[in-house]
Chains A and B, each alone.
Chain A
C-alpha cells in the first residue's frame, strides 16, 4: 500500500512578489493569535516590575541628592585647606587632588550606575552606600 505523502511544494519565486492573502499572519489585517505570556524568562531573570523600577528610581534620586550635597560639602572643605608651596608640579597635582576630592561623590555615583549592570540593583545600592560612607566630606562635617 502506498502511503499518501504530501507533495513537497516547490517555492514559487513569483509568490515573493505578491502581497499575500488575509490568511498570511504577516498581513496587517490578518487575525492575530494572542501571544501567551512566557513564564520562563531567559537566564532566570525576574520579569520587570514597574513598581520596583519606580522605587529604584526614587532610591537613585535620593542617592543623587546625597552625593550632590557631599560635593558642595567638599567644595567648602577644600577651600579651607591650605597648600604648602613645594614647587609647581606638586602644586598642580595638589590642586588636581582637591578638584578630584570635590568631584568624587559625582564620579562615584555615575561610575556605579555605569559599571554595575541595571539588573543587579542590590549590588548597585550596596556600592552607592559604600560611597555614602567613604566619600562624606568628613573635614566639613566634623568642623576640622
Chain B
C-alpha cells in the first residue's frame, strides 16, 4: 500500500488512479484539438488570400510605376500600412481566439473561433479596400 500525500497538483492527496489518464478528459482534448485544427485551416485560407493579394498588388505596381514615371506621374508606394496588418491578422485573430477559448468548453471554443473568423473577414475586406484605394491611379 502506498500513502497518498497531498501535493500542489492534488491537494487532497488523491492521485489519478495509478497514473492512468481520464478517458473523458482525453476525449475533450482530442475534440478541442480537432476544432483548433479545422479552424486553423480556415484561418490559413485567409492568410493564403492575403499573400496572393499582396503578390498581385506587387506585380501590378511593378508594371504600373515605370509607365507612370514616363508620363511624369508620381510613384505609387507599396501600401505596407494596410498590407502588413492584412498579412498578420489571420495569425493574431487565431492566436487570440485559441487563447481565449483554451480553457472553455468545446461549444464555447467554436463560438469564439467563429467570432474571430467574422472579425477577420470584416477587417480583411476593410484593409483590402484601403490598400486598393491607396494604390489607385488618380
Contacts and interface: CB of A to CB of B under 8 A. Distances in A.
Contacts of B118: 100-101, 103-104, 107-108, 135
Contacts of A108: 115, 118-119
B58 interface: no
B31 to A, nearest CB: 19
Given A114-B111, A144-B133, 9 more contacts: A100-B121, A100-B122, A107-B115, A111-B111, A115-B111, A135-B123, A139-B125, A139-B129, A142-B130
A68 B37 CA distance: 32
Contact of A77 (B112, B125, B130): B125
B119 to A, nearest CB: 6
A104 B117 CA distance: 8
14 contacts: A86-B52, A97-B49, A97-B121, A98-B121, A101-B121, A103-B118, A104-B118, A111-B114, A115-B111, A115-B112, A135-B122, A135-B123, A137-B122, A144-B130
B114 A107 contact: yes
Interface string A97-134: 11011011101100100110000000000000000001
Interface of A: 74, 77-78, 81, 86, 90, 93-94, 97-98, 100-101, 103-105, 107-108, 111, 114-115, 134-135, 137-139, 142, 144
B117 A100 contact: yes
Contacts of B114: 107, 111
B62 interface: no
Q: Tell me the dominant secondary structure on chain A's binding face.
A: helix
Contacts of A139: 125-126, 129
A131 to B, nearest CB: 8
A108 B111 CA distance: 10
A85 B95 CA distance: 30
Interface of B: 45-46, 49, 52, 108, 111-112, 114-115, 117-119, 121-126, 129-130, 132-133
Contacts of B52: 86
A101 B111 CA distance: 16
The 7 closest A-B pairs by CB, nearest first: A104-B118, A139-B129, A100-B121, A101-B121, A144-B129, A104-B122, A138-B126
Contacts of A138: 126, 129-130
A115 B108 contact: yes
A26 B111 CA distance: 46
A126 to B, nearest CB: 14
Identify the interface centre among B49, B111, B124, B126: most chain A CB within 10 Å of its CB: B126
Nearest to A81: B125
